[in-house]
Amino acid sequence: MNDGSSDPEQLGERRTPFGEVWQVFRRDRLAMTGLVALAVLVVCALLGKLLTEWWVVIDPATVRLPDKLRPPLSGPSEVIGAERLPEFGFYLFGTDDLGRSVFARMLQGSFVSLTIGLVSVGISVGIGVLLGGIAGYYGERKFLFVRIDAWIMRFTDVALCFPTFFLILTVVALLPPSIFNIMIVIGVTSWMGTARFIRAEFLSLRERDFVLAARALGLPSWRLIFRHMVPNALSPVFVSATIDVARAVLTESALSFLGFGVQPPYATWGNILADGRAFLFDAPWLFLIPGSAILLIVLAFNLVGEGLREAMNPKLRRARA
Amino acid sequence: MWRYLGRTIVERLLLLVLISIVSHAVVHLAPGSPAEVDSLNPMMKAEDVLKIRKSFHLDEPLHVQYWYWLSDLFSGELRSFRDNQPVLPRIWDRFLNSLPLFAATTLIVWGLSFPLGIAAAIRRGSRFDRATTFLAYTLISVPGFFLSYVVILGMSRTFDLPILGNRTIGVEGASAFVQVMDRLWHLVTPALMSAMTGIAILSRYVRTQMLEVIGEDYVRTARAKGLPEDEVVYGHALRNALLPFVTMFGFLLPGMIGGSVIFEQIFAWPGLGRLGYEAVLGRDFPTILTLNFFAAVLTLVGVLISDLLYALVDPRIRLS
Amino acid sequence: MSGPLLEIEELSVSFPSDAGALPAVRSVGFAIAPGQTVALVGESGSGKSVTALAAMGLLPPSTRVSGSVRFEGRELLRLAPSELRKVRGGSIAMVFQEPMTSLNPVLRIGRQIEEVLALHRGFDAVRARAEAIELLGHVGIASPERRVDQYPHELSGGMKQRVMLAMAVAGRPKLLIADEPTTALDVTIQAQILKLLRTLCREQNMALLLITHDFGIVAHFAEQVNVMYGGKIVERAPVVPLFASPSHPYTRALLAAMPRAELGRARLEAIPGRVPALDQMPAGCPFAPRCKLAFDRCVEMPPLSRVLGDSTGQHVACWAVETETT
């Protein structure tokens, strides 16, 4: 055994688990950049919701046909009346083919895109934890002569056999287009990884000393599950959920590209990007601005997720030892 | 070994039946029937819709429809709702079109990811490692079609690479050599573009895996024997690091359908993904169902192959 | 050949960390003569494994190593990597604590032994295979011609350690470093492996650096003993005087904590406290916080290693012992 390896672990025992993760995470420059970017996005999304819907200062739906396809930073023409002037008095991100301000639409879209990412991942993590937890904890019981574990895992196998994106595409195409359907479909088609992971984790946690001890004390199983097992299995799930949010945002943009995304009048980054494709050569900003925005935000989620994974890693290793 | 094979094949066939039932249910339970696809067409009257429903058995109960689909599928009689053409020959046709793109993409992904990942792992923390790490994150995060369009925007004028389709129209008359070169030439951009995400993901995974193995006791033993560093890395560490990748084969094959929709659409590549997209647009249930079924078959075959390969490369696994 | 085979002087090793460099080994020095068996004893975390790995150049590149490790007069710490590789596995071989994880799981046993034979003795494939079978038989593995084609998972723990030994002696080393070679094994297997280790050393006149925490093994095997604590050698002595009259309070405490049949009902004494962590190393004697004899100077200044006056060859680094004897 390497004598040195056991000692850095003793260093950490003086800090709380969260503080310890934060200590490692904070030194990861890429991950911190991602976290700042995410914070900015959340502020943008909330501001966007506030300013475009509840207290309309910036109206993304204002059509100004004389000012269509204006490049970024250009001012409005004289024919635009005072009530239809863009925010700040000029077009920060230019205008689209209807003369709508791209900045206003991006602002509105940030909330929708973020919601799609978070809600769909919430759904998939919920399903995954529920199914995986049941299979891992109550798996030995039988239902219709077959172990519950076998039922759930066979079902997971079946779900894994579908090509996810094609399945999403099929269902989204068949359902009436709505933002909720997209969130639900993305969520319902991506829980399998979480379920398998939680099951494996529960199976090993069940045999761990502290769970056995808690059971020997006669604690009720819900308390055992939610106080002792779920918190221990959740941190890696949190990491993969962060990365899944990134993936969901990408999926939404891909659906928009194929014409099955969120329908107008809702603006999402995905459908602004998909619409901009038609003006690729005439008005590249319509394409480059939402594309870069998606790239940056997905990158931020990925960097934060990877940073968390790194930061939690030594802890995981100790938990396993 | 043979008993194992027999048992898994039976298990997988059962799984396949389950999958076909689930996918049939998913497609048919969703609102929106193929008869309504042209609902805006003023020529369509209520009795036409009824007639269409009847001729496609859409008025029968679900399990009867399922039976029709299954028996048609196995007798090869399955026909598209849209143009009444047989489905299987068309899928086979498109499969042959997808195959070269899929093979080229896979070759690029696997050919580049391993050297990149290994190099990054060996030089952990170096400038090369940090640069590839950041590049990989960027590639994972960029929407595939966005990157493709940016490349089209930037490259189509600079290089004379063809972008659309899998061959030049009218090339059929030329010599075999010209035809082959024409096909390969058309392959370059789509294959590179669809390989990007794959390279990013796989090279990261190779790096992680390699780092994990390099910390193992037996790698220290190999160093203690006085083996040269190359021999330690490639002879001792790499073989162990490669094991998990065998299981990835299983999920490679079905990517031919799901993963290719976007890229085949961008580059007008007449493959399986595009067929699926057209079928979804037209609510062509037989084609959608058969494609899903085909993907499931590919997955199961892929998983079986990777199980067998795993047993082949890892002496600790016994098939029983 | 006269003079020591291996001579370590002022060897210090520290691991870089966010809290500054963590010293794992501090100014360690000892020597091994050809054919001699020397023990390095201490609790886990005392720096004994790190000392051996540093001598072999097997620590990660970020580790800072200073001092001198001379093998047959050559300075190993400043040897070119290609030259050092000739020494590793050739003149100096090493056996590790965990036979379960120290063999490569995807390579046949034969191949792992043949590698050493090809590298250090220049054997071709056919001769290497024959020799590998021969070696396997020699370390007491039954039907070696069958075992040679098996994978590590098909062998028991004791057999794996025999394979590790076969691999180690394959290069005809002059020095074998055995790092807790029996700790992971059952007691009955331990005895067999130790016996084999001794036989191999005698046959090939091989020197042995035995790293262990077990004084029982030390008593049976070693000629010279180095007791390590907190990255330092606190006492060095030939085995007989060490057991007869241990001088350092730590050695005394360790021996008192060891159950011995002849003492009958005598009380076993545990040492209070625990080994200090690397970042909490005391400025003075590392053992001072746990030492019954400690006084002010022990906490303030690290004691130097002194020869005890009675010509038994005992070296002790302890202020208390020094004041006792002078």
More confident residue, A215 or C27: C27
| pLDDT band at residue A5 under the 50/70/90 scheme | very low
Q: Kindly tell me the sign of the dihedral angle through the C-alpha atoms of A291, A293, A297, A299.
A: positive
| Contact yes or no for B251/B302 (Cβ under 8 A) | yes
pLDDT at B320: 54
Instruction: Name the residue of chain A whose CA is nearest to C48's CA.
Output: A3
- Cβ contacts (< 8 Å) between B239 and chain C: which residues? 104, 106-107
Please answer yes or no on whether B239 and C107 come within 8 Å at the CB atom.
yes
Average per-residue pLDDT in chain C? 84
Q: How far is B258 from chain C (nearest CA, A)?
A: 35
Q: How far is B179 from chain A (nearest CA, A)?
A: 31
Chain C interface test: which of A3, A14, A20, A27 (most C C-beta within 10 Å):
A3
With a CB cutoff of 8 Å and minimum separation 6, the contacts of C221 are C37, C39, C194, C198, C208, C210
Q: Where are the alpha helices (DSSP H) in A148-218?
A: 148-160, 164-174, 179-188, 192-206, 209-216
| Contact yes or no for B78/B68 (Cβ under 8 A) | no
Please answer yes or no on whether A11 and C15 come within 8 Å at the CB atom.
no
Identify the H or E element spanning C70: strand C64-71
pLDDT digits (tens, 9 = 90+) for C166-186: 999 998 999 999 988 888 788
Please answer yes or no on whether C53 and A6 come within 8 Å at the CB atom.
no
- How many percent of chain C have pLDDT more than 70? 92
Alpha-carbon span A45 to A114, nearest angstrom: 7
Chain A interface test: which of C278, C279, C280, C281 (most A C-beta within 10 Å):
C278
Q: Which domains does chain B have, with CATH numbers?
A: 89-247+260-282 (1.10.3720.10)
State the average pLDDT over residues C190-199. Answer: 88
- Cβ contacts (< 8 Å) between C90 and chain B: which residues? 226
| Contact yes or no for B34/B84 (Cβ under 8 A) | no
Query: CA separation (Å) from A200 to A132, A296, B140?
Result: 8, 34, 27
- Is the per-residue pLDDT at A7 higher than 50? no
| Contact yes or no for A132/A197 (Cβ under 8 A) | yes
Please answer yes or no on whether B277 and A30 come within 8 Å at the CB atom.
no
Average pLDDT of each block of 10 consecutive residues along chain B (320 residues)? 81 84 77 55 62 67 79 77 79 88 90 91 85 89 85 69 69 77 83 88 89 88 90 88 78 72 86 87 83 84 82 72
pLDDT digits (tens, 9 = 90+) for A112-141: 888 889 999 999 999 998 898 888 888 777
pLDDT at A44: 86
Identify the H or E element spanning C218: helix C215-221
Q: How far is A138 from chain B (nearest CA, A)?
A: 23
Alpha-carbon span A78 to C211, nearest angstrom: 88
- B226 at interface of C, judged by CB pairs closer than 8 A: yes
| Contact yes or no for C39/C218 (Cβ under 8 A) | yes
| pLDDT band at residue A253 under the 50/70/90 scheme | confident
pLDDT digits (tens, 9 = 90+) for C40-71: 998 877 888 899 999 888 888 888 899 999 99
Q: How far is A2 from chain C (nearest CA, A)?
A: 6
Alpha-carbon span C258 to C218, nearest angstrom: 12
| Contact yes or no for B132/B199 (Cβ under 8 A) | no
B57: left (phi over 0), alpha (psi -120 to 50) or beta: left
Q: How far is C103 from chain A (nearest CA, A)?
A: 15
Nearest residue, CB atoms, C105 vs list B220, B222, B240: B240
Q: Which domains does chain A have, with CATH numbers?
A: 18-320 (1.10.3720.10)
Q: Kindly tell me the sign of the dihedral angle through the C-alpha atoms of A267, A271, A273, A275.
A: negative
Please answer yes or no on whether B236 and C93 come within 8 Å at the CB atom.
no
- Cβ contacts (< 8 Å) between A8 and chain C: which residues? 17, 22, 278
Instruction: Name the residue of chain B whose CA is nearest to C59's CA.
Output: B220
Alpha-carbon span B135 to B118, nearest angstrom: 16
Which residues in chain C (149-178) have CB-CB distances under 8 A to chain B? Answer: 151, 153, 164, 167, 171
pLDDT digits (tens, 9 = 90+) for C92-131: 999 988 888 899 988 899 999 999 999 899 889 999 999 9
More confident residue, A89 or B266: B266
Identify the H or E element spanning C41: strand C37-41
Chain A interface test: which of B147, B148, B149, B267 (most A C-beta within 10 Å):
B149
Please answer yes or no on whether B146 and A253 come within 8 Å at the CB atom.
yes
ipTM of this predicted structure: 0.84
Query: What is the DSSP code (8-state) at residue C10?
Result: E
Q: Where are the alpha helices (DSSP H) in chain A?
A: 7-12, 17-27, 29-49, 102-137, 148-160, 164-174, 179-188, 192-206, 209-216, 221-223, 230-257, 269-276, 285-320
In total, the C-beta contacts within 8 angstroms joining chain B to chain C are: 73
Closest CA to A224 of A209, A206, A203, A198: A206
Query: CA separation (Å) from A306 to A190, A275, A310, B46?
Result: 19, 32, 6, 56
- Chains in touch with C (3+ beta-carbon pairs under 8 Å) read A, B
Query: What is the DSSP code (8-state) at residue C91?
Result: T
Which residues in chain B (265-294) have CB-CB distances under 8 A to chain A? Answer: 265, 273, 276-277, 280-281, 283, 288, 291-292
Q: Where are the alpha helices (DSSP H) in A230-284?
A: 230-257, 269-276
Q: Which long-range contacts (CB under 8 A, 24 or more apart) does B24-28 make?
A: B24/B62, B24/B65, B24/B66, B24/B69, B24/B289, B25/B62, B26/A167, B26/A170, B26/A171, B27/A170, B27/A174, B27/B285, B27/B288, B27/B289, B27/B292, B28/B62, B28/B65, B28/B285
- Chains in touch with A (3+ beta-carbon pairs under 8 Å) read B, C
| pLDDT band at residue C210 under the 50/70/90 scheme | very high
pLDDT at A11: 44
The burial of C62, by beta-carbon neighbours within 10 Å (0-12 exposed, 13-18 middle, 19 or more buried), is given as exposed
Bridge partners (DSSP) listed for residue C207: C175
Alpha-carbon span A293 to A295, nearest angstrom: 5
pLDDT at C207: 92
Q: How far is C97 from chain A (nearest CA, A)?
A: 7
Nearest residue, CB atoms, C104 vs list B222, B224, B228: B222
Q: How far is A34 from chain B (nearest CA, A)?
A: 11
φ, ψ of residue C93 in degrees (nearest 5): -115, 160
Q: How far is A43 from chain C (nearest CA, A)?
A: 34
State the average pLDDT over residues A219-227. Answer: 77
pLDDT digits (tens, 9 = 90+) for C249-306: 888 888 777 766 555 555 556 677 777 777 777 777 888 777 777 777 777 777 777 7
- Cβ contacts (< 8 Å) between C44 and chain A: which residues? 1, 3, 6
pTM of the model: 0.80
pLDDT at A190: 87
pLDDT digits (tens, 9 = 90+) for A12-65: 445 566 777 787 788 778 888 889 989 998 898 888 887 777 776 677 777 777
Which residues in chain C (189-228) have CB-CB distances under 8 A to chain B? Answer: none
Instruction: Name the residue of chain C whose CA is nearest to B317's CA.
Output: C153
Residues of A near B (Cβ–Cβ under 8 Å) read 30, 154, 157-158, 160-167, 169-171, 173-176, 246, 250, 253-254, 257-258, 273, 277, 280-281, 284, 287-288, 291, 294-296, 298-299, 301-303, 306
- B222 at interface of C, judged by CB pairs closer than 8 A: yes
Alpha-carbon span A46 to A59, nearest angstrom: 15
With a CB cutoff of 8 Å and minimum separation 6, the contacts of C165 are C95, C139, C193, C196, C197, C200
pLDDT at A119: 94
Chain B interface test: which of C107, C164, C183 (most B C-beta within 10 Å):
C107
Nearest residue, CB atoms, B146 vs list A163, A173, A273: A273
Torsion, Cα C264 C266 C272 C278, to 10 degrees, reads -40
pLDDT digits (tens, 9 = 90+) for C124-175: 999 999 999 999 998 888 899 999 999 998 888 889 999 999 999 998 999 9
Please answer yes or no on whether C44 and A4 come within 8 Å at the CB atom.
no
pLDDT at A105: 85
